[in-house]
Structure 1
Amino acid sequence: MKKILIFAFLAVQERFVRLFMPRVSTHQLLLLPGIESLRWTLGRWRAWRTFELAAKKVPAYRQFLAKHDFPGRLPGNGTVYDEFSQIPEMDKDSYIRPWSTEERCLGGKLPRRGVVVDESSGSSGVPTSWVRGPDEREATRQLLQLGFARTSKALDKQPFVLNAFSLGAWATGMNVTSSLTDVTMIKSIGPDKDKIIQTMQEFGTGFTYIILSYPPFLKALFEDTRLRWQDYDIVAAFGGEGISENMRAHINKYTHGAFGSYGASDLEINLAIETDFSVALRQAVAEHPKLAARITKQDEYGVLPMIFQFNPYGYLIETNDAGELLVTIVRRENINPRIRYNIHDRGHVMRVRDLKPILREYGLTQVLSEQLLDLPLLFHYGRSDLSVDFNGAVVAPDALRDVIYNEQALLDAVENHRLISYEDAAGNRQLHIALQLNEQATESKELDVERYLGHVVTELRRMNGDFNNAIRTAPDSTLPTVAFYPYRTGPFTDDGRKLKNEYVWQLDGDEVGDWELDFSYTAQQ
């Protein structure tokens, strides 16, 4: 009886929402403050309903549950969250690859019309195709338009969106373009500095340019001296990877603000967004170690988390025992449901109502003053499957990124970075930390690289206690090495050929010995 009443209520409530589906104002109503508990509860009920719908109508999911000896329904006797947490999690290897796209669709077949196919970047392997039906694309469109409306409301000039995400079949570039075309002026350029600069020169300073791209591209764009950036009004939005607060400050020299979005091709491109409140909280975490220890896992992962806000009415986000995020898209409209999907990102969720007393306790009223939405917070620490192990410690490329971006000289000089794990001739696992100098730093040779070689290791040890202990106990022959490489040399020879930067390499042999090292350093215990 409990399930029947809940599902009937959801049907009535969602039918009401669908009557106003073309209106962004409907979604704005769902984000009003004061109904945080309602959103939280409805999201869990919708996840329950979506699970049982998928278990009934998706052939692959029925087989997946049978393989795990799990029934296709929840008892409904305890709390939804506790019962939902018993459902087996899925990921690309356990669910996406074993079954065909059709088998993973509602009814076991693809709709004849209205389906868009895009693909992931393939950063962890071969690119994967994803199908999105008309209803879920409409939902994504409205969420992106809502975010855009909030951004553009504060602008004095007409907004002009320059979409510099990679175009073609890639999920982000495609969805951004299709979602924003009917609400703003947009030019989809892709990551091409020349065309962006040419466009801004052509259209002049009468617009506020909202430039969307990956953080490394934004940094390189604003450092291009062909344009007088101070003459233009610019807002930056980024996705694909995180940034340090020093990097944000660097980009903000050229813009009115830089805000990130969290998403994934496997799920959706805009699961969560940075807000003024989440950015202020992140900066407070960076400045107050006691606050960081209280609400984050920064000490455990050795990296300052990105902090976003998300709508629990649309997504149920959990954390498994390994510290990885499990995401359920709770909308029943998705033709290819994902239930407790593990994208292998580290993170956790915290409700604003639980955070407020802690901020007051530390006297951080200035952070509280930035709070507009009472949406829960998502703390994100990067990919769990794109880290490397060293003597029992986990080292994340995001931690190396923060070391580089938190030192102005390195921020100005380093083009890319990479953690390289390989096996030497004696069979020992080694860690090589590679940093690529940009063209200017390579030519000028102004960076005191010998000074910063040791600095990189020292900072990584300071940020990550496990890594520090791992170095202290490692045999001398396996201590990590650090090297700076001139632009497009060594492990960076082929950089720029892929959609996204590669930050981790796992090599089978001692290929590092083939690279010419002008400056190298071996960590000291």
Structure 2
Amino acid sequence: MAKWYYDVFPTLFIDKLSNKISNYNMTYNFLKSVDPELLESISEKKVMKVFKDSVKHIPAYTKFLNKHGIKGKDIKNIRMFDSIIPVTDKHNYVFKYSLLDRTRNKTLPKQSLIVESSGSSTKLPTNWFRTLEEEEDVQKDIEFESKYLFKEKEYIVISSWSLGAWTTSLSFCYHFEKLGVVKNIGPDVNQIVQTLKMMGPKFNYIIGGYPPFVKHLIDVGKLNWKKYNIDLIVGGESFVPGWRKYMKGKLKRGSKIVSVYGASDLEPGLAVETPLSQYVRELFIKNPKKVNELFGTDELPLFFQYNPLRFYIKNITETKEFHTTVLTKGHVGCKVKYNVKDLGGRLKYNDLIEMMSVNFKEFNKKYHQKFKDISIKLPFLWVAGRSDSVISLDGVNMFPQQIEMALLKNKKVYNNIQSFQTSKVFYHDGGHHFQISIELQDGFKPNKNFAKEVKETVKVNLGKINKAYKLGLKDFPACYEPYVKLYEFRKGPFNNKKIKNKYLTN
């Protein structure tokens, strides 16, 4: 169908139609057969509506535009919006303007308002406000995605996200309470194991949490994991290619592991892995050189699909980041062209299919046999971690994922590591050096032999993954040889476990 025809669809009609499609089968049949260009066109119309509303009702956003010499009324179409409107972020918008200035008509709702805190992979935690109307819209998406990925199974859902006002913990439990029994335990290995033993292996379970804690749970939890029907939902950060295989090897055959992508600044449930997106990543795992060739980064991304009726996403070419405008109804404040500083970008559904067909000879046949008729025709989002989590030494970039991949090559070492941090440290010789701080599993004590084994594991395997590091190590070993510091579980820089892991320290 021609694009011009899509442009005549009124947004009011579109909103009413999307509200009507609440039945899973209706939604699925629509999404597997729709022309992806129709969804893109609707997304463009909705983002203009959100932009105009923000200009009219959000004082801080009007001030932000004025600061850049822009009058909102002058932006007439999506082309102008994409090319002229500046990108917002935590520093130039959230921290610059007061809370009330960033709210609709400088007023907070008197009821049905949820206040959450984001964890600090940047500096201090930040408070975010969500309305019940907004959360209900998100819940509809998650209900559909859960049925699409896990079918009609009945689940006991266990949340291991950090307790308290942290965004993911509150949202995860709220979004899943309509789908099954939910127990909000938090990151407590003993309590989770005790719950599983009490309920027994006859039920289906979903455990949600950050990848490092979920690994820790399965590694040290005293339970016969292979007897239980456990699927995992992980998020908050990426994981290395071998991590999924490592975890599946410890769980019952057939267990599913699904990664979700979200951001406290935007919404926790922004995008989700699908069978097709997982297959796309598998092909890049087998052909790692294609990652840099096609995406311009050495960091292997995770691939997700997202709902363009709730998010308008565009790429920031210069920094290989992306900005997002939230289209969900009921916002207290605006989230227009917001950059969360993650490496990544979006691809239209048809563009990704074409890219994969051209670059991977096995893709076309598999796609037509297994995915074409059943996949949901939503755009893709690739994410390769935070753009500010890279350590750079003498021009060589090293990513947390690459270091974890190096550690994973030695199962004995990896099994005893809970988490790690990297830093560029200044030593007495006047130079910068590469340091890795290791948090050990609970009960494992630091010792010189293990530190030496970690050092050799990183040197050998990181050099195989990152060719620039290998050359740097050869030419300037004093700078590139890792300084390894071991810490007992939750000691030293790892003593605050309320939030997700931090991989880069000053």
Q: Shift of the alpha carbon at 1:329?
A: 0.8
Measure how far apart 1:68 and its partner are: 0.8
- Equivalent pairs, count: 492
1:208 partnered with 2:227? no
Is the aligned partner of 1:460 residue 2:462? yes
Shift of 1:224: 3.1
Q: For residues 319 and 447 of structure 1, what CA distance do their matches in structure 2 show? A: 46
Task: Tell me, in whole angstroms, the C-alpha distance in 2 between the residues paired with 1:48 and 1:262.
Answer: 25
Identify the residue that residue 15 of structure 1 maps to in structure 2: 16
Q: Report the residue type matching 1:454 in the other structure.
A: E
Question: What amino acid is aligned across from residue 377 of structure 2 in structure 1?
Answer: D
In the other structure, the counterpart of 2:392 is 389
| SS of residue matched to 1:31 | helix
The 2-side partners of 1:401 and 1:345 are apart by 18
Separation (CA, whole Å) in 2 of partners of 1:130 and 1:138: 17
2:273 matched to 1:274? yes
In the alignment, what sits opposite 2:302?
Answer: 306
1:473-488 matches, cutoff 5 A: 478-483=479-484, 485=486, 487-488=488-489
Conserved 8 A contact 1:438-1:486: no
Matches within 5 A, 1:35-184: 35-73=35-73, 75-76=75-76, 80-81=78-79, 83-153=81-151, 155=153, 158-184=154-180
Matched, 1:326 2:323: yes
TM-score by length of 1: 0.86
Shift of 1:375: 1.6
Q: CA deviation at 1:480?
A: 4.2
Distance 1:392 1:447, change over 3 A: same
C-alpha distance in 1 between matches for 2:236 and 2:449: 29
Q: Any unmatched runs of 5+ in structure 2?
A: 1-5
Structure 1 segment 366-405 matched on structure 2, within 5 A: 366=366, 369-370=370-371, 372-405=375-408
CA RMSD of aligned residues (A): 2.8
Instruction: Label 1:82 to 1:389 Cα distance change in 2 as closer, same or farther (>3 A).
Output: farther
Structure 1 453/427 Cα, relative in aligned 2: closer, same or farther at 3 Å? closer
Task: Name which of structure 1's ranges 246-255 and 90-99 shifts more when overlaid on structure 2.
Answer: 246-255
| Contact 2:210/2:235, CA 8 A, preserved across alignment | yes
1:384-404: CA deviations, max 9, x gaps? 122222112332222212222
Q: Distance in 2 between matches of 1:435 and 1:417?
A: 4
For 2:104 and 2:29, locate their aligned partners in 1 and report how far apart those are by CA, in whole Å. Answer: 30
Query: Contact 1:50–1:331 (CA<8 Å) still a contact in 2?
Result: no
Q: Deviations over 1:287-311 (max 9, x none)?
A: 02454344333xx3x3211111112
Q: Is the 8 A contact 1:303 1:402 kept in 2?
A: no
Q: Answer yes or no: is 1:219 the counterpart of 2:219.
A: no
Check the 8 A contact 1:296/1:379 in 2, yes or no.
no
Secondary structure of the 1:342 match is coil
2:264 counterpart of 1:265 = yes
CA change 1:23–1:97 in 2 (3 A) is: farther
Match of 1:430 in 2: 433
Counterpart code for 1:140 = V
Determine if the alignment matches structure 1 residue 286 to structure 2 residue 285: yes
Q: In percent, how many aligned pairs have the same letter? A: 24
* CA deviation after TM superposition for structure 1 residue 366, in Å: 3.1
Q: Is the 8 A contact 1:43 1:313 kept in 2?
A: yes
The alpha-carbon deviation at position 236 of structure 1 amounts to: 0.6
Q: CA 1:315–1:104 in 2, change beyond 3 Å: closer, same or farther?
A: same
* 2:131 and 2:332 in contact (8 A); partners too: yes
| Separation in 2, partners of 1:458, 1:81 | 49
Give the aligned partner of residue 3 of structure 2: none
Deviation of 1:376 (Å): 1.7
Alignment equivalent of 1:409, drawn from 399, 409, 412: 412
The residue type paired with residue 174 of structure 2 is S
Post-superposition offset of 1:74: 5.3
1: CA distance, partners of 2:157 / 2:503: 29
* SS at 1:172 equivalent: helix
- Give the letter aligned to residue 393 of structure 1: V
What CA deviation, in whole Å up to 9, does each residue of 1:201-259 have, x standing for no partner?
Answer: 11112210111111111112112352111211111110111112211112112141111
Contact 1:416–1:437, Cα closer than 8 Å, also in 2:
yes
Give distance in 1, aligned partners of 2:42 and 2:419.
43
